Amino acid sequence: MKVVAVLLLIAATASAIEWADLLVKWSRSGEDPSHANSFFQMPRTKSDAINNSWIEVTGLTSLNLTVYCYEEGDGRVCLEYDSYGNIAGIQAAVLCSDVENVQSIYNRSNLNQYQIKTIFDEEYWTSTIYFISPETIAAGGRSEMNGLTGTEGIWIRTTDGFIEIPRNVSEWDSAWTKEACVSEMGNLRLIPPYCYLVPCVY
């Protein structure tokens, strides 16, 4: 499996549905029915990451977390686990060299949710989201997940701290605007420079 994360769209469930999974790489309905190249299951515990040969990488976070990346030499998708070994966040990244020629169009250095990090001796633009609050992370995390990836909301790590995005649409303020999106993906809400994806509920 080769997971490619070139942008960070945050998928969360509607309030009536338990958020009990963690998948990456969306595909249009019918294009990949066997999910051979989409909807990859991410390990939600450190023990699962180790059992699936994810690689521990140090020096990527100042928080009380342990970071594992998918494979040696590939820093595009890394997961962060709390002191209990439960999922706390996901970091998506793109090689700086891969986007160097489009920096004049989309200058990540002007957006505080992007940070340059060195992973496997290469520089990446990274963006990280957390499924538990910074306060919970500082306290060591969750001793029990109760099967849930997250319950309260999503936090985007920025160069200034954290931006909290409430889990329920009803809690968003008027700064968020509804944007056009592929119907199977849900409704995209945008407050520059953040995007939040709310899946359709049928």
At residue 97 the predicted structure's pLDDT band, cuts being 50, 70 and 90, is: very high
- The proportion of the chain whose per-residue pLDDT surpasses 70, expressed as a percent, equals 77
Whether residue 23 is predicted with pLDDT greater than 70 in this model: the reply is yes
pLDDT in tens, 104-121: 888 888 888 899 999 999
- Position 58 scores a pLDDT of 96
Residue 69 has a pLDDT of 97
In the sheet with 177-179, reading across from the earlier edge strand, the strands are 10-11, 194-198, 187-191, 177-179
Domain ranges of the chain: 10-198
Beta-bridged to residue 161, according to DSSP, are 158
Cα separation values, 143 from 45, 90, 153, 187, Å:
12, 19, 18, 33
Q: Is 137 helix (H, G, I), strand (E, B) or coil?
A: helix
Q: Cα–Cα distance between 156 and 172 in angstroms, integer?
A: 15
Instruction: Tell me which H or E stretch contains 48.
Output: helix 46-51
